[in-house]
Structure 1
């Protein structure tokens, strides 16, 4: 349980962790650092009653997590500081000057930016982990803060020289899990050294089939992952839970269980920008309607028929016949008073056809004008649309999910109440239909075509709204596949079990964003570069860059010997010389240099102290790897957990 001590009784230990935030991710990260890594944590959140002790069971403890070997068995105390924003005085109260790491997890990028600059001035050697939705701004901030640390560093100040800044996004971490839950056969992507690591989910092989391990097998899925009434990897009632980084013999002996394998490694390319209607011109099908195109086709056919008839009956050559027909159409030819009757009849027919030309020109102009004006407006769902995904909410998470769904070319219909939501411009650029309205109102889900949809993604910022939308959608279509974004993981589990019992024939999944994102933030606070995270049902697999030196589990061992099933696995080796190594493996090189990571490692390669490797690790496995580093001693005066 968490113990919040009165102000006069709070002990302080240098090297503690400071977590600042205004939502569930902050508390989840604090529990992750205390329960898994056994670190002192100061939590700065709004609305804490600072003068009264409270107790609370950490989320990580409820998950049944155990500390890594070498970590203290006693959970360090937690100090909570009440503050709306992390001002300079608040950071001083949290003792940032003596802290080892600071996490800034506010939903407002500007608050995180200001607090990061202030914290860097207070402690140049502080390890910073910043939550930023704007990735471009985050890259610039990371470079700026690292340069600021180097400017203040001296030749002997190794603490400052080792300072680092890591910018992460909970939206980028959680979005692949939400998409993979709603869409079958999707791939999770991790970027490293300008490469894309694609982890693909593969179904269980049939009888006599040999499973393809890809580059390596990352996880074994539970046998109920595709069963609507299954327990989704909870491991209850004799159902095997998902197993991360399994041994090869376990994979070969698993029957009826799907796998997630590291499928491919390729060069990362720039994401293509959405096509704008006004930039490169619009397709004819969008500018002119089908009726107008049929009318134009009929008019052209009539003109060709008149031209051919004129050429046959008047013995004129085709060019002259076409010329006479066009003159009659535009009513600029002289009347054929002295011409034969045939010529007079053809002139009258050409004049009648020419009467239809003006309405066609006017209709075409109006339709084109309306189409180009509509480029700034939101599209409505087309009639007869089916097999699509209904996405509720275009906030931070919803916007990332929408981008991934369109990357997979999945048809989407969005529902958003706020016309100024963050994802509205992206939906407009991608041409995705959007319905503006409250999803809890009657008729909104019907307008989105829920009855003909394949899945519903409820990703609004309100848990009750998401739950109400899922219940309303299930009333319209009982077997609809639904995925909910819920903040609290316990609440998400309870909702999942209730809906699974009420609708056994439909797939129901619930996801907590803080549960998916917290392990990546915790690993970054411990000083490991987290390249990405892959969700496996309700578990998370981390990819990190690790220096071999100081890790007896890796140093002096072969790649095969260093593999610890269910804990970590070495995937790649950085072959660049240590002085020439890029500090950020997740960035794409601007100079077009070839990748320096060797992925096809020989199992007999002996890891040297100067090597840097990319490892896939579980939460507990990464904590065990970090256990060999220096650990601040527990304060003997701290009260034990209740």
Structure 2
């Protein structure tokens, strides 16, 4: 496989393909001496890592030929420039019509057109063979935002774990310690680990239980049951529930109750601000003084006119007092000059209070008794999608965004999500979001320093809150995570860079359109694939129980192949499948017989995938299928 890029995503993707997927990788980078090039060079020097490094400023035709694109299985183009990625993709399709292309694109519509164009070119070059799943000449266009959402949602909702997204649902692999009971959200046992308890299933240095056997991927039901008391287990857990977001509060409670609640939350106190009280206090004192002077020196009117006439004079609304006594004329002139001085202050104070009232009224603060919710800071591109995904779960969300025109503000109001239009780094804002009573904090703004400031403030207010923070710099993210974990050892903290979030989805796409995701498990890995039952003797005509093959694959879900989930990571569904309305059954009964019209989601080993795709048993010494137990 070939990777061409100029930032941390290329580095992270190379690690993912080598360490997790066991692939032979060639990486094309602009320089060997920058931080990413030096990291790839370190992998290249490792005798156990078949990673090659090639240096080239641009992915032109000569560079692609030198990297071996004409004989490669897949090519990932991860440059930060859409034009560079498009040009290289067109060149690669011409050099190797059967290659799988995974392209990073920031412009969504352009990526959609490019995907169709390259797939059509592959079909023409192979006489329509691009549609053959055995050849898999797919083109997949991904963006950073799409690939980050599932893992951010899972991390905020339930904590650490590699994620998988299928048909709008998000799943994760979670480690259950030895002896822990099965939970309602657990779908299947993916692996029995070598240790009794292990926080990170991807670790290669797991503690061994005395007399314990090693890690067993895809164990049979009997083994999984008996070893659950002595070994940790890697379970597939459903994070989200596929239901429509709850209707806004107005629709649930009726217009009358919603209006009363909204009026009660309006920030009337802004009109009692110090400057407003001072200005109108001075105005009142002036009116009282002029009324007293009018009563003393020009008392020719009823008592109420002693207040009424000075107010008319101050606001220049009265008639000239030419026919009245001299004292009245003098007081009118004094009141006019006072009005010239005071009226600008009155207007400014009123406008400031009105603007503050309008801005604060746009917010929808949470209820005073809200607890156990997720605080989401930042409603930009990623924040908006995270909010939409979180609202398909049972978790309550409070959103914080300082820009009233951010793209996620309208969505938050439409969904009835409590919203604070303020700067989360300002004092008191997190308290108004009830951070002390929340279970998780998601910080997704574009400023790394601001993200860190918000997290540190939240940690001071609630040391035990689960924190998930998106940072752009990979090294900075790792340093922040280590420091926060050392400072707050009992509080879960995840700090992930964009490249770290995106790499697994890109790796899954490079494995082929049938691969939904890859999950590392100690020294091995599990692949989640979607397969049409028709034409597979290992599946067709067998029950779900009979289709199971120990240490090779297990049926996780069954659906109809007629409607068609497109089993490929795409722009809109990262590392998963487009929602095609197939209604996959994630708890199929063991006796259900798989028919030719069915489509199944499988958890497989690499060896199991090779058997399913080719129908041939790999050679026992095949390095690709067996390296490091994969």
Q: Same fold (TM over 0.5)?
A: yes
Map Cα deviations across residues 40-86 of structure 1 (whole Å, 9 max, x no partner). Answer: 54434566659x99564668999xxxxxxxxx966142213334xx6
Change (3 A) 1:181 1:584: closer
2:169 counterpart of 1:180 = no
Change (3 A) 1:111 1:382: farther
2:8 aligns with: 24
CA contact (8 A) 2:445 2:451 kept: yes
Of 245, 250, 275, the residue aligned with 2:224 is 250
CA contact (8 A) 1:224 1:233 kept: no
1:527, CA displacement in angstroms? 2.8
2:392 counterpart of 1:407 = yes
Q: Superposed, which structure 2 residues align to 1:359-508 within 5 Å?
A: 379-382=363-366, 384=368, 386-387=370-371, 388-416=373-401, 423-432=408-417, 433-437=419-423, 439=425, 442=427, 444-446=429-431, 448-461=433-446, 465-486=450-471, 495-508=480-493
TM-score computed with the length of structure 2 as normaliser: 0.59
CA distance in 2, matches of 1:53, 1:534: 26
CA distance in 1, matches of 2:28, 2:158: 40
Q: Superposed, which structure 2 residues align to 1:137-536 within 5 Å?
A: 141-154=114-127, 162-168=136-142, 171-184=145-158, 190-191=165-166, 216-218=188-190, 245-248=218-221, 249-255=223-229, 260-261=235-236, 285-286=258-259, 289-290=262-263, 379-382=363-366, 384=368, 386-387=370-371, 388-416=373-401, 423-432=408-417, 433-437=419-423, 439=425, 442=427, 444-446=429-431, 448-461=433-446, 465-486=450-471, 495-511=480-496, 514-532=499-517
CA distance in 2, matches of 1:39, 1:231: 22
Change (3 A) 1:236 1:465: farther
Map Cα deviations across residues 429-457 of structure 1 (whole Å, 9 max, x no partner). Answer: 44541444373x65554454433433222
2:78 counterpart of 1:105 = yes
Map Cα deviations across residues 214-262 of structure 1 (whole Å, 9 max, x no partner). Answer: 653235799778xxxx789856677999986454323443249676346
1:165, CA displacement in angstroms? 1.6
* Residue aligned with 1:407, SS: coil
Q: Superposed, which structure 2 residues align to 1:576-595 within 5 Å?
A: 584=567, 586-589=577-580
TM-score computed with the length of structure 1 as normaliser: 0.58
* Residue aligned with 1:82, SS: coil
1:538, CA displacement in angstroms? 13
CA distance in 2, matches of 1:43, 1:236: 30
2:333 aligns with: none
CA distance in 2, matches of 1:49, 1:626: 40
2:113 counterpart of 1:129 = no
CA contact (8 A) 1:523 1:529 kept: no
CA distance in 2, matches of 1:616, 1:129: 23
Of 40, 49, 56, the residue aligned with 1:81 is 56
CA contact (8 A) 1:133 1:396 kept: no
CA distance in 1, matches of 2:455, 2:16: 30
Aligned length: 509
The unaligned stretches of length 5 or more in structure 1 are: 1-16, 63-71, 294-369, 632-642
2:601 aligns with: 614
Indicate the RMSD between aligned Cα atoms, in angstroms. 6.1
CA distance in 1, matches of 2:376, 2:17: 33
1:29, CA displacement in angstroms? 1.2
CA contact (8 A) 1:24 1:487 kept: no
Change (3 A) 1:465 1:501: same
* Residue aligned with 2:10, SS: helix
CA contact (8 A) 1:40 1:78 kept: no
CA distance in 1, matches of 2:148, 2:94: 32
1:117, CA displacement in angstroms? 5.1
Map Cα deviations across residues 282-318 of structure 1 (whole Å, 9 max, x no partner). Answer: 776248854699xxxxxxxxxxxxxxxxxxxxxxxxx
Change (3 A) 1:163 1:601: farther
